[in-house]
A and B are shown apart, each in its own frame.
Chain A
């Protein structure tokens, strides 16, 4: 998803990071392809890296906005994530770590959160960051006029108060254990209360490890190291995101040495990039390939039809034929600490007989016809997946009627929930409530599109937000995943990889499962 001009919008919103080490990775055939399971940062000691240097990253498109609260495009999120700071952050294992908030306390009833802000932090323009900026930022995100995309993550926030210069108190209507992970996204960036949207559209002003330097529309955007950054300063002097619209031209530029880094989502392109001077690293992604079902329409309102679909699919075959085997079979939750067991489902393996039994129990006429929307060219494997699913389900007596749509048309139909089924690549998040609460709770803002809810799920999601103990939360979200699978709300398929191509002199960069480039701040060149 990263390197092409228009990618699955949902995949841009992938908002977390993953414990790369906890994932089993497919063995790679190419000598110069490595997986990031061992931690890419260990490939060169940080001490070997010389400070300085100018990194050029090849990207297929420049950001479609520089306003962090409305940025969902992959390129925009990546650029802005290096410029802006957030109250909390995620580390490479997707764990929440302190950001602009050095620490926080939660009251016993869970309804008051007190953030203690880091002192001495400044914005790129030299002004001081303080509690009024936090109040301004959170209140403006909550204002519907702002049209901030992360507004719903603050749904339980009632008031935000500056107690003193470095303390902010947030009052909640009900406990919200997902708040801290939800704050760690550039869509929750802390902006200076002196800046307006118009200012920031042309001159971003953040507290991040890099500061905005220059933009040539359609050609490049350049960042320079922020020497006043509160953490360890970055090694690189500058980072330029250079727009090279064609992926194969980015590969040529990597080979010729014009650019030293690029991120691809197509294994075939990544394969051509690996060479003597270029290493390609595979990173498992939080985003997941799924056959979304609309359980409120036509034959799919019968749970037996949905279960028949779930049992009628061989996921490994799908992965092998549609995506060259590049990925992992997945259950609903891909967040590393809450990962669902892909075998905990009614039919872990394809079972045509059982599928036909389910279908026989259903009160429908066969063959069952399911109107399925597929986006063309949004991501590399969509049409192949759809065709493979169609072929497999035909043997069960279910006909997927494929409606292949150009991306804009697909998004329109998806938003309107105008489909029986949708072949989709959806963004995952580091925290399961952020990932599915908005889809599968009856008042979630994407519930109409999700097409499924139940009182039991509502109760489970509410419990998940109140639980503070990690093991207890894990148990609750295991139940959520089981409920989704047992009712075949959707049919979860697999997760894929992204491929980070880096020049061999570049080290210290850690690719993340959300595609975030936040570890540019630890990257540097050898010698």
Chain B
């Protein structure tokens, strides 16, 4: 009932907003890419591009589709995207849609595993810290949280990888990437460390949010009442305290999704994981305009969807939001 109402009132407005956001992203990415010095010709040929004759250069500009005026480049790309054609990567010699279809599930799996690690680590540590504020236990939890915030992911990733490889000869990421459905065991081996490292960074803000929220909820009247009524401590912690502290935790987790995609670029690079982050990075390095524009648009769409989902989750978790 409440959900229906939300759908009626909210969805049209939210979808409108989302479309507007996506258009904005498209324009910004288009402009920023052109602001990067060089083009695909100089990316491929480097300084050797200086030796091209004017006719050779014109032939290459036509080949890469950068001989058109900017306006027509933008609208022909956008028109193609609307009809489902995300463009063609001359480097990979395959369509951007095909590349994205291969890369997106990889990053999605990495994101889900990282969030799972982050939630387990973050909530447990947060509750541990909140269970006795300002104690040694709290300090220990806070130190771990601080470490998660301050150790750069690339450093942790490289260190873990190189110690495991040189000391134990363990380096599943040196094998060709295994897809989840093809070889689940090798896939999970390859995903474990990346998800752990990425999750560790996300765990820190979740831990801090959990700690604050739990402390706040604990001081509420209803908790005292429940305790007075004889609710067992564990049940009290989980059913009453954590349940009520979940809204900020979910908000924080949703917000971290953006960090996760940024972090995925680095982590995918270090662990040789063929995900969407690497696709964008390679595209930027090569000035492959259509590839980057379309991929970023797909990422933005994912981001918008996650935000919608987070909103929806509030209403399920917290009846008070529904009333508001």
Contact = CB atoms under 8 A, between A and B. Distances in A.
Contacts of B5: none
Contact of A8 (B43, B45, B46, B285): B46
A421 interface: no
B interface, over-half SS: helix
- Interface size class of chain B, counting residues whose CB lies under 8 Å from the partner chain: 35 or more
A253 B50 contact: no
Given A9-B46, A256-B174, A446-B50, A218 B279 contact: yes
Nearest to B165: A252
Contact of A218 (B57, B175, B282): B282
A interface, over-half SS: mixed
A172 interface: no
Contacts of B270: 245-246, 248-249
Interface string B267-284: 001111010001100100
A255 B169 contact: yes
Nearest to B168: A256
B300 interface: no
- Interface size class of chain A, counting residues whose CB lies under 8 Å from the partner chain: 35 or more
Interface in B260-306: 269-272, 274, 278-279, 282, 285-287
A481 B21 CA distance: 60
A457 to B, nearest CB: 18
B221 interface: no
B99 interface: yes
A219 B177 contact: yes
Contact of B50 (A151, A251, A409, A414): A414
Given A218-B278, A415-B47, A408 B42 contact: yes
Nearest to A215: B93
A253 B190 CA distance: 13
B59 A259 contact: no
Contacts of B164: 252
A15 B186 CA distance: 41
A256 B93 contact: no
A222 B19 CA distance: 42
A408 B272 CA distance: 24
Contacts of B271: 249
Interface stretch (A111-119, A139-147, A328-336, A357-365): A139-147
Given A147-B52, A409-B37, A258 B174 contact: yes
Contacts of A97: none
Contacts of A66: 93
A251 B166 CA distance: 9
Given A242-B176, A246-B269, A64 B93 contact: no
A201 B42 contact: no
Given A147-B63, A243-B272, A252 B162 contact: yes
Contacts of A13: 46, 48
Contacts of A449: 47, 50
A65 B165 CA distance: 32
A343 interface: no
B55 interface: yes
Given A218-B279, A408-B43, A64 B91 contact: yes
Nearest to B39: A408
B197 interface: no
Interface in B91-142: 91-94, 99
Given A144-B53, A245-B269, A256-B174, A72 B46 contact: yes
Which 5 pairs, one residue from A and one from B, show the smallest C-beta to C-beta distance? Answer: A9-B46, A258-B174, A253-B174, A408-B38, A217-B92
26 contacts: A6-B285, A8-B47, A13-B48, A64-B91, A65-B91, A144-B59, A147-B52, A148-B56, A201-B90, A216-B176, A217-B99, A218-B274, A218-B278, A219-B176, A245-B269, A249-B272, A252-B171, A253-B173, A255-B166, A256-B165, A256-B171, A275-B166, A408-B43, A408-B287, A411-B38, A414-B50
Given A219-B274, A244-B174, A414-B50, 12 more contacts: A10-B48, A58-B174, A144-B55, A147-B63, A201-B93, A245-B270, A246-B269, A251-B162, A255-B162, A406-B37, A445-B51, A446-B50
